[in-house]
Protein backbone atom coordinates (compact mmCIF):
# COMPACT_ATOMS: atom_id res chain seq x y z
CA UNK A 1 0.00 0.00 0.00
CA UNK A 2 2.84 2.42 0.77
CA UNK A 3 4.10 1.94 -2.75
CA UNK A 4 0.65 2.68 -4.19
CA UNK A 5 0.30 5.82 -2.05
CA UNK A 6 3.76 7.02 -2.96
CA UNK A 7 2.97 6.52 -6.61
CA UNK A 8 -0.32 8.41 -6.29
CA UNK A 9 1.23 11.28 -4.32
CA UNK A 10 3.97 11.51 -6.95
CA UNK A 11 1.25 11.55 -9.60
CA UNK A 12 -0.40 14.55 -7.91
CA UNK A 13 2.78 16.56 -8.10
CA UNK A 14 3.52 15.38 -11.61
CA UNK A 15 0.08 16.40 -12.83
CA UNK A 16 0.30 19.73 -11.02
CA UNK A 17 3.83 20.35 -12.24
CA UNK A 18 2.80 19.46 -15.74
CA UNK A 19 -0.12 21.88 -15.60
CA UNK A 20 2.08 24.71 -14.36
CA UNK A 21 4.68 24.12 -16.99
CA UNK A 22 2.35 23.77 -19.93
CA UNK A 23 2.78 26.70 -22.29
CA UNK A 24 -0.98 27.43 -22.20
CA UNK A 25 -0.91 28.13 -18.43
CA UNK A 26 2.39 29.98 -18.35
CA UNK A 27 2.32 33.29 -16.42
CA UNK A 28 4.63 34.91 -18.92
CA UNK A 29 2.95 35.11 -22.29
CA UNK A 30 6.05 36.60 -23.95
CA UNK A 31 9.64 36.53 -22.66
CA UNK A 32 10.51 39.04 -19.93
CA UNK A 33 13.71 40.10 -21.67
CA UNK A 34 16.49 42.17 -20.16
CA UNK A 35 16.45 44.66 -17.29
CA UNK A 36 16.26 48.23 -18.57
CA UNK A 37 19.34 50.12 -17.41
CA UNK A 38 18.89 53.52 -19.07
CA UNK A 39 17.67 56.68 -17.32
CA UNK A 40 14.30 56.81 -19.05
CA UNK A 41 12.71 54.66 -16.34
CA UNK A 42 12.30 54.90 -12.55
CA UNK A 43 12.50 51.64 -10.58
CA UNK A 44 12.73 48.23 -12.21
CA UNK A 45 11.44 47.28 -15.65
CA UNK A 46 12.31 44.66 -18.25
CA UNK A 47 12.08 44.85 -22.04
CA UNK A 48 11.87 42.16 -24.69
CA UNK A 49 11.58 43.50 -28.24
CA UNK A 50 9.15 41.26 -30.15
CA UNK A 51 9.20 43.17 -33.45
CA UNK A 52 11.83 45.60 -34.71
CA UNK A 53 11.18 48.16 -37.43
CA UNK A 54 12.48 47.54 -40.93
CA UNK A 55 12.39 49.47 -44.21
CA UNK A 56 9.03 47.89 -45.19
CA UNK A 57 7.23 47.99 -41.81
CA UNK A 58 8.10 50.72 -39.30
CA UNK A 59 6.01 49.24 -36.46
CA UNK A 60 7.88 48.15 -33.33
CA UNK A 61 6.41 45.92 -30.62
CA UNK A 62 7.98 45.47 -27.20
CA UNK A 63 6.93 43.40 -24.19
CA UNK A 64 7.53 45.54 -21.08
CA UNK A 65 7.36 44.15 -17.52
CA UNK A 66 7.31 46.68 -14.66
CA UNK A 67 7.95 45.65 -11.08
CA UNK A 68 5.85 47.50 -8.42
CA UNK A 69 6.60 51.28 -8.55
CA UNK A 70 8.54 50.81 -11.80
CA UNK A 71 7.50 53.32 -14.48
CA UNK A 72 8.60 55.17 -17.59
CA UNK A 73 9.64 58.82 -17.60
CA UNK A 74 7.21 61.22 -19.20
CA UNK A 75 7.58 60.79 -22.97
CA UNK A 76 5.80 61.17 -26.31
CA UNK A 77 5.64 59.31 -29.61
CA UNK A 78 5.43 61.29 -32.89
CA UNK A 79 3.38 58.41 -34.36
CA UNK A 80 1.37 57.62 -31.21
CA UNK A 81 1.45 54.43 -29.17
CA UNK A 82 -0.88 51.53 -28.31
CA UNK A 83 -0.62 49.57 -25.05
CA UNK A 84 -2.17 46.10 -24.54
CA UNK A 85 -2.08 45.06 -20.87
CA UNK A 86 -1.40 41.33 -20.49
CA UNK A 87 -0.88 40.99 -16.71
CA UNK A 88 -0.98 42.77 -13.36
CA UNK A 89 -2.17 46.21 -12.29
CA UNK A 90 -0.63 49.46 -13.51
CA UNK A 91 -1.07 53.14 -14.18
CA UNK A 92 -1.31 55.29 -17.31
CA UNK A 93 -1.44 59.07 -17.35
CA UNK A 94 -1.56 61.73 -20.04
CA UNK A 95 -0.34 65.24 -19.15
CA UNK A 96 -3.15 67.24 -17.57
CA UNK A 97 -5.43 64.19 -17.18
CA UNK A 98 -6.07 62.04 -14.09
CA UNK A 99 -4.08 58.81 -13.70
CA UNK A 100 -5.90 55.73 -15.04
CA UNK A 101 -5.74 52.26 -13.47
CA UNK A 102 -4.68 49.55 -15.94
CA UNK A 103 -5.46 45.84 -15.59
CA UNK A 104 -5.06 42.71 -17.71
CA UNK A 105 -7.09 43.04 -20.92
CA UNK A 106 -7.08 46.86 -20.98
CA UNK A 107 -6.16 48.66 -24.18
CA UNK A 108 -4.81 52.22 -24.40
CA UNK A 109 -4.41 54.32 -27.53
CA UNK A 110 -2.18 57.32 -26.90
CA UNK A 111 -2.38 59.97 -29.64
CA UNK A 112 0.76 61.29 -31.38
CA UNK A 113 2.81 63.86 -29.47
CA UNK A 114 0.79 63.60 -26.24
CA UNK A 115 3.04 63.54 -23.15
CA UNK A 116 2.31 60.47 -21.01
CA UNK A 117 3.80 57.83 -18.73
CA UNK A 118 2.93 54.25 -17.78
CA UNK A 119 4.10 51.71 -15.26
CA UNK A 120 3.22 49.29 -12.49
CA UNK A 121 1.02 50.16 -9.52
CA UNK A 122 2.64 50.69 -6.14
CA UNK A 123 1.96 47.12 -4.94
CA UNK A 124 1.60 44.96 -8.07
CA UNK A 125 3.62 44.36 -11.21
CA UNK A 126 2.24 45.18 -14.66
CA UNK A 127 3.06 43.73 -18.08
CA UNK A 128 2.04 45.29 -21.37
CA UNK A 129 2.76 45.00 -25.06
CA UNK A 130 3.68 48.40 -26.53
CA UNK A 131 2.97 48.97 -30.24
CA UNK A 132 4.56 52.05 -31.80
CA UNK A 133 4.74 53.20 -35.39
CA UNK A 134 8.04 54.97 -35.87
CA UNK A 135 7.44 56.31 -39.37
CA UNK A 136 7.06 59.84 -37.98
CA UNK A 137 10.06 59.57 -35.64
CA UNK A 138 11.26 57.82 -32.50
CA UNK A 139 10.07 58.28 -28.90
CA UNK A 140 11.04 61.58 -27.25
CA UNK A 141 12.05 61.05 -23.60
CA UNK A 142 11.31 63.75 -21.03
CA UNK A 143 11.65 64.20 -17.24
CA UNK A 144 11.07 61.42 -14.65
CA UNK A 145 7.66 60.98 -13.02
CA UNK A 146 8.07 62.40 -9.51
CA UNK A 147 6.89 60.55 -6.39
CA UNK A 148 4.20 63.22 -5.99
CA UNK A 149 2.95 62.66 -9.55
CA UNK A 150 3.14 58.87 -9.17
CA UNK A 151 1.11 58.69 -5.95
CA UNK A 152 -1.39 61.46 -6.79
CA–CA gap between residue 117 and residue 107 (Å, rounded): 15
CA–CA gap between residue 70 and residue 65 (Å, rounded): 9
Closer residue to a copy of itself in complex, CB, 67/149: 67
Nearest to 134 by CA among 67, 64, 49: 49
Which of 32, 133, 139, 144 is in the footprint of a copy of itself by CB under 8 A?
A: 133
CB within 8 Å of 115: residues ≥ 6 apart: 74, 75, 76, 94, 95, 142
Which of 42, 72, 76, 79 is in the footprint of a copy of itself by CB under 8 A?
A: 79
For a copy of itself, the binding residues (CB under 8 A) are 1, 4-5, 8-9, 11-12, 15-16, 19-20, 22-27, 29-31, 50-51, 56-59, 61, 79-80, 82, 84, 86-88, 103-105, 107, 109, 111-112, 129, 131, 133, 135
Amino acid sequence: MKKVMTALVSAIFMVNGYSQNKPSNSKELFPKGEKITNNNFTGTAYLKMLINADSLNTTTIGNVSFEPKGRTNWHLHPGGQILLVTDGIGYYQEKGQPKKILKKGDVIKCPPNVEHWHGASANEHMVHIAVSDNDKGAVVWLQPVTEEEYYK
